[in-house]
Amino acid sequence: MRNLDTGAVQAKYLVRTHSVFKVLAFHPENQTVDIKQEMFELVHNSDGEIYKQNEFGVDVPYSLRTPDIMYGIPVKQIRYGQFAIKVCPVVGDTGYVEYFHDDITGWFEDGGVAIPRNSAKFLRNSCVFVPGVFDENNSTQDYPTDNTKLIIAGKDATIEIVNPEGDDPATQINIVAKTVNVTAEKSKFSGDVEVTGDIKATGDVKAGNISLKNHKHNVKQGASVQVNTSTGTGSVTSDKLSEAAQ
């Protein structure tokens, strides 16, 4: 039998790294979640009825620990400097927790340099929830089959950044949604703009110095003018054009 440091071996099983959890509730006021562990945990128990081989090939008795429920766990955010991707977990989302070596409760609540409130290591509630880990049945749903697309998807809208392969690939952005709202002091486009459908504006539309709203045509007195009031189109008939119309 190998000469093993029994205490060290037992301590190893107390070290926590990651566990899979499901969201039970989300608290937007402080960006925390209540979560339930998705897997039973094997616990060393001399009276256990479940036997598993350890790393030394020895059958060890285990019992099952009921899945944990933890409350008020911080959600990991994608935020660096002035930039952030803001998403909120919903009930049923799955992910994993990362356990910290020391108790982070004081740091999370007060910020700054903090003293651990508990001397124990790898506490169950000293962790952060990382959403976005799925089982095999849900991991490939509506996902691209290659690496040419970056997709930001919601229930009824999708933004795609596509870099197609080929001799002359040109990156394009596709936005699919019932309504796209753009709020800006000024929007600028460099290049051609193609529109399928109507264009409506509450203000003026200008081409160069010509105003669509204030543009006028001078028509020679006596000319015949016919205008369709429903479409705003019409015709002018004259035997001679005015100077403004030439």
- Residue 170, classified by CB atoms within 10 Å of its CB into exposed (0-12), middle (13-18) or buried (19+), is exposed
Tell whether 12 and 122 lie within a shared domain: yes
**pTM for this model (two decimals):** 0.66
Q: Note whether residue 246 is domain-resident.
A: no
Residue 97 in tokens: 């927790």
Tell whether 54 and 127 lie within a shared domain: yes
Tell whether 103 and 162 lie within a shared domain: no
User: H helices within the chain, ranges in order?
Assistant: 6-12, 105-110, 136-139
Rg of the chain taking only CA atoms, in angstroms: 33
Q: Note whether residue 89 is domain-resident.
A: yes
Tell whether 102 and 116 lie within a shared domain: yes
- 154/26 Cα distance (integer angstroms): 18
What are the pLDDT digits (tens) for 52-67?
A: 877 778 888 888 878 8
- 126/8 Cα distance (integer angstroms): 22
What are the pLDDT digits (tens) for 198-223?
A: 988 888 888 888 888 777 766 666 66
Task: Identify each DSSP E strand in 87-147 by its residue range.
Answer: 94-99, 127-131
Rounded to 5 degrees, φ, ψ at 243 are -60, -35
The whole domain housing 101 covers 6-139
Q: Note whether residue 245 is domain-resident.
A: no
Tell whether 169 and 108 lie within a shared domain: no
Decide which of 75, 110, 139 is a domain's last residue: 139
Q: How many domains does the chain have?
A: 2
Tell whether 100 and 170 lie within a shared domain: no
* % of the chain exceeding 90 in pLDDT: 24
Q: Note whether residue 169 is domain-resident.
A: yes
Beta-bridge mates of residue 236:
225
| pLDDT at residue 226, rounded to an integer | 67
Q: Note whether residue 50 is domain-resident.
A: yes
What are the pLDDT digits (tens) for 233-245?
A: 666 665 555 444 4
**Mean pLDDT value of segment 85-89:** 87
**Mean pLDDT value of segment 17-34:** 93
Tell whether 146 and 69 lie within a shared domain: no
Tell whether 82 and 31 lie within a shared domain: yes
What's the CATH code of the domain at 60? 2.40.50.230
Q: Note whether residue 12 is domain-resident.
A: yes
Smallest Cα–Cα separation from 68: which of 91, 96, 44, 90?
96
Q: Note whether residue 48 is domain-resident.
A: yes
12, pLDDT greater than 60: no
Q: Note whether residue 76 is domain-resident.
A: yes
Q: Among positive and negative, which fits the CA dihedral 50, 13, 71, 140?
A: negative
Beta-bridge mates of residue 84:
79
111, pLDDT greater than 60: yes
Tell whether 166 and 127 lie within a shared domain: no
